[in-house]
Amino acid sequence: MDNVLQIQNLSKSYGNKEALKDVSFDIPGGKIVGLLGPNGSGKITLIKTIMGLLQDYSGEVIIAGLKPGHEANKYISYLPDVSHIPTWFTVNRAIAFFVDFYEDFNVELTSSMLETMKIPCNKKIKTLSRGMQEKVNLSLVMGRQAKLYVLDEPIGAVDPASREFIIDTILRHFPAGSSILLSTHIIADIEPILDAAIFLKSGQIVICDEAEKIREERNVSLDQLFREVFRNVH
Amino acid sequence: MFIKQLKYDLMFSRNAFLGMGALLIGMSIVLRMGLLTPMHVQSSLDVWGFLSLSIAVTVVSVASVVQIFNLYNRSFFKNSGYLMLTLPVNRTRQLASKLIVSLIWYNFMMIVASCMILIFAIGTVSWNHARNSFAWHGGSISNFFEGIFAMNVIAFLLIAIIFFGITLANSVIGRWHVHGFVAGVVAILYLILTVRVATFLDVLFLGMTRSFIGTFMMWHSSFVYYITFLGFAFVAVFATLHLLKNRVDLR
């Protein structure tokens, strides 16, 4: 399977502070990859670079054969860790926005997701609870038939019951051949769905392997390993 | 895609500008009705005419600048930036769209200002007085349109500099995130430089015309100002585009 994302020797500095140091990894099609690390480990810098929100880096980033930018954005569906859809939009308006800008957006799929979650589409997003807003954002992002999904803390702001539902939504709706790069602190909940994991510490990759292999070799879960690796990192 | 971008930029700012326009016109009506007392009607016709013009232009100009600032800043550099800057639309088109939309709203606000003046003018100043307020240099149609053009050139320069300042305040230059205060100072200095250069060129060309062509030829200062303002505005636009493409970092 072709690589959906290729990163080679990626480094990014803010003056003397190195946010990313010689980061290299590939994500082939059809994989769910966890991007794991504490605050300040470089996860956001890496995601911003993939999304074309940061420039002035060294190394190479290739998404579906393209460098980061507006052309590559046709193939990446991005869920940031902030509420990026204007909250004065109604849910229906947000759907119309995605229809207008993304050719791969599937209205029926999104509408069915929202219906399952019992989200009223005629209401303004700001009138919905935080958890519901997260679900709306996720439904819109997963409603695209993208090659790469970049999800930054998709379950960060929702209750444990909703987490299961969101994870199930992610699993059921991402197309075959596409991949997901999923950044989170809440590893225990997402561990069962991860095919591979990347541990990022102080801008460097400390572990990058298939999830099953990591568990077998070290005889611990990813969650336990995360706690061990990052125990003294604040 | 560009048309869609325009549509959404208009939509993003629509409520703020329409609301502000309605509020200003409503306030003008209320204020005007308050002035229709016998004490005021006869005594201060011209004073109120002049005052209304000053108030309308000042309020509308300040309000427009604030709203245009918000339109650009919220759209690109707050949470919505994670949506807008990751759209499959290139940054040049996004910036062009915001410039056009800002000019559209600026002109809308000028219409609001005209309405405010009309509201104040009715019954307080003579028709000729009012007509002259809407026209430049004597009231001919061509002068009226020249006035509109001049206002748009100045507005384009101001909008370009505002966009440049906001983008600079959200950029990383070298190792530093540029501080908002520094970006503001740079933008103001750029505006001052623009006006100084325009004045210098006007004086320079006036001297040259007198030397080479003769004093009988009327020199059009406004032409030098238009060209200089537009030139500096485009430099600011290209600088903004460069920052958007290479230096911006959402926080």
**Subunit contact B90:A76, Cβ cutoff 8 A:** no
**CB neighbour list of residue B70: distance below 8 Å, 6 or more residues apart:** B13, B16
Please tell me the distance from the alpha carbon of residue B180 to that of residue B177, in angstroms, as a whole number. 9
Query: Which residues of A are less than 8 Å from B1 in CB distance?
Result: 101
Query: Which residues of A are less than 8 Å from B81 in CB distance?
Result: 84
**CB neighbour list of residue B40: distance below 8 Å, 6 or more residues apart:** B48
Task: List, as one string, the DSSP characters of B127-158.
Answer: HHHHHHHHSSTT--HHHHHHHHHHHHHHHHHH
Residue B224 and residue B201 in contact, taking contact as beta carbons nearer than 8 Å: yes
pLDDT at residue B182 tops 60? yes
DSSP state of A74: G
**Subunit contact A70:B89, Cβ cutoff 8 A:** yes
Interface probe for A, chosen from B3, B7, B86, B177 (most Cβ of A below 10 Å), is B86
Please tell me the distance from the alpha carbon of residue B161 to that of residue B238, in angstroms, as a whole number. 11
User: Hey, what are B156's tokens?
Assistant: 């384009």
Number of C-beta neighbours around residue B123 at 10 A? 12
DSSP state of A152: E
pLDDT at residue B44 tops 60? no
Which of A213-222, B61-70, B85-94, B238-247 has the lowest average pLDDT?
B61-70
Interface probe for A, chosen from B82, B97, B242, B248 (most Cβ of A below 10 Å), is B82
Predicted local confidence at residue B213, as pLDDT = 59
Q: Least CA distance to A70: which residue of chain B?
A: B88
**Subunit contact A48:B249, Cβ cutoff 8 A:** yes
Query: Which residues of A are less than 8 Å from B79 in CB distance?
Result: 80, 82-84
Q: Chain B: nearest CA to A232, how far in angstroms?
A: 26
Question: Per-residue pLDDT averaged across B110-121, rounded?
Answer: 82
User: Hey, what are B205's tokens?
Assistant: 């060309």
Which of A20-34, A43-57, A192-206, A219-233 has the lowest average pLDDT?
A219-233
Longest dimension (CA), chain B: 66
Predicted local confidence at residue A170, as pLDDT = 82
Q: Least CA distance to B78: which residue of chain A?
A: A84
| Adjacent-strand bridge partners of A208 | A198
Please tell me the distance from the alpha carbon of residue B114 to that of residue A53, in angstroms, as a whole number. 42
pLDDT at residue B219 tops 60? no
**Subunit contact A56:B12, Cβ cutoff 8 A:** no
ipTM above 0.85, yes or no: yes
Kindly report, residue by residue over A57-69, the tens digit of the pLDDT: 999 999 999 999 9
Predicted local confidence at residue B46, as pLDDT = 57
Question: Per-residue pLDDT averaged across A206-216, rounded?
Answer: 90
Please tell me the distance from the alpha carbon of residue A207 to that of residue A204, in angstroms, as a whole number. 9
Predicted local confidence at residue B144, as pLDDT = 73
Task: List, as one string, the DSSP characters of B83-117.
Answer: HHTTSSS-HHHHHHHHHHHHHHHHHHHHHHHHHHH
pLDDT at residue B202 tops 90? no
**Subunit contact A55:B83, Cβ cutoff 8 A:** no
Query: Which residues of A are less than 8 Å from B174 in CB distance?
Result: 15
Predicted local confidence at residue A168, as pLDDT = 83
3-class DSSP state for residue A35?
Answer: strand
Interface probe for B, chosen from A47, A84, A137, A150 (most Cβ of B below 10 Å), is A84
Predicted local confidence at residue B93, as pLDDT = 94
Name the phi and psi angles at B187, rounded to 5. -65, -45
Predicted local confidence at residue A146, as pLDDT = 93
Question: Per-residue pLDDT averaged across B202-206, rounded?
Answer: 82
**Subunit contact A70:B91, Cβ cutoff 8 A:** yes
Where residue B215 falls among pLDDT bands split at 50, 70, 90? low
Tell me which residue of B157, B178, B182, B158 sits closest to B243, measured CA to CA. Answer: B178
Locate the domains of chain B by residue range: 1-135, 137-251
pLDDT at residue A218 tops 70? yes
Please tell me the distance from the alpha carbon of residue A105 to that of residue A142, in angstroms, as a whole number. 9
User: Hey, what are A111's tokens?
Assistant: 């509408």
Counted across chains A and B, CB pairs separated by less than 8 A come out at 65
Residue type, position A203, single letter? G
Interface probe for A, chosen from B83, B170, B243, B249 (most Cβ of A below 10 Å), is B83
Where residue A78 falls among pLDDT bands split at 50, 70, 90? very high
Kindly tell me the sign of the dihedral angle through the C-alpha atoms of B16, B18, B24, B27: negative
Q: Chain A: nearest CA to B193, how far in angstroms?
A: 30
Residue A28 and residue A22 in contact, taking contact as beta carbons nearer than 8 Å: no
**Subunit contact B245:A55, Cβ cutoff 8 A:** yes
Average pLDDT, chain B: 82
